[in-house]
């Protein structure tokens, strides 16, 4: 497998440290804006996901007529229709889509956290296993907290996740850029 970073000379990245810092600052600003209005950030997240589902559905439908055999065409057409309908519904009713996505997020966090606790317990003889368990408990508790506040918290949870992600990515890119400068 080819590693893209192996092809970039270190000096080329060091010369562009300012771009990393600038992108980090931009992402921090976007994260701050999202944090300032979590409802709008949630709606933007739903529209983004809806757009991806709509594009995916159209591509599935186009692909359906490229395969041979009725059973294969039927699978791709149904899959494409479901994606397309879900994308359209996200645009038609972003609040309902937000509620569905928030519930899905709560369930996913609960499952992921439980799995991490189980993995951490399996690592018990190794040093640091407790950190895996603690991380799993925190993730599972986040899922439970989101589920307990559902559907009311659907108005802001996705926006909060987007804002926090933008802020962390901004800080990360700034730190990376300043580290490259040194």
Q: What is the pLDDT of residues 58-108, one digit of tens each?
A: 998 988 888 777 777 888 889 899 999 999 999 999 999 999 999 999 999
How many residues comprise the chain?
A: 182
Is the pLDDT at 1 greater than 60? The verdict is no
DSSP 8-state symbol, 5:
G
Mean pLDDT of the chain: 89
Q: How many CB atoms lie within 10 A of CB 132?
A: 19
Is the pLDDT at 11 greater than 90? The verdict is no
Distance CA 165, CA 161 (A): 6
Distance CA 61, CA 13 (A): 41
Q: What's the token pair of residue 83?
A: 């994606």
Supply the pLDDT for residue 2.
56
Supply the pLDDT for residue 29.
97
Is the pLDDT at 8 greater than 80? The verdict is no
Do residues 54 and 80 make contact, with C-beta atoms less than 8 angstroms apart?
no
Higher pLDDT, 64 or 36: 36
Q: Give residue 10's pLDDT band: very low, low, confident or very high (50, 70, 90).
A: low
Q: Model pTM?
A: 0.76
Distance CA 106, CA 109 (A): 5
Distance CA 6, CA 63 (A): 35
């Amino acid at each position: 497998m080819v590693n893209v970073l192996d092809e970039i000379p270190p000096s080329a990245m060091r010369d562009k440290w300012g771009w990393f810092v600038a992108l980090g600052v931009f992402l921090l600003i976007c994260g701050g804006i999202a944090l300032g209005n979590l409802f709008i950030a949630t709606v933007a997240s739903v529209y983004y996901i809806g757009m991806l589902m709509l594009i995916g559905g159209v591509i599935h439908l186009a692909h359906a007529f490229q395969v041979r055999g009725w059973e294969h065409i039927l699978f791709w057409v149904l899959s494409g229709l479901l994606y397309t309908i879900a994308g359209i519904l996200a645009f038609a009713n972003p609040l309902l889509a937000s509620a569905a996505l928030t519930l899905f997020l709560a369930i996913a966090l609960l499952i992921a956290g439980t799995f991490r606790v189980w993995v951490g317990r399996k690592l018990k003889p190794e040093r640091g296993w407790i950190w895996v368990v603690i991380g799993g408990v925190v993730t599972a508790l986040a899922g439970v907290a989101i589920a307990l506040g559902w559907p009311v918290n659907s108005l802001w949870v996705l926006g909060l996740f987007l804002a926090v992600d933008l802020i962390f990515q901004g800080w990360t890119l700034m730190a990376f850029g300043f580290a490259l400068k040194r």
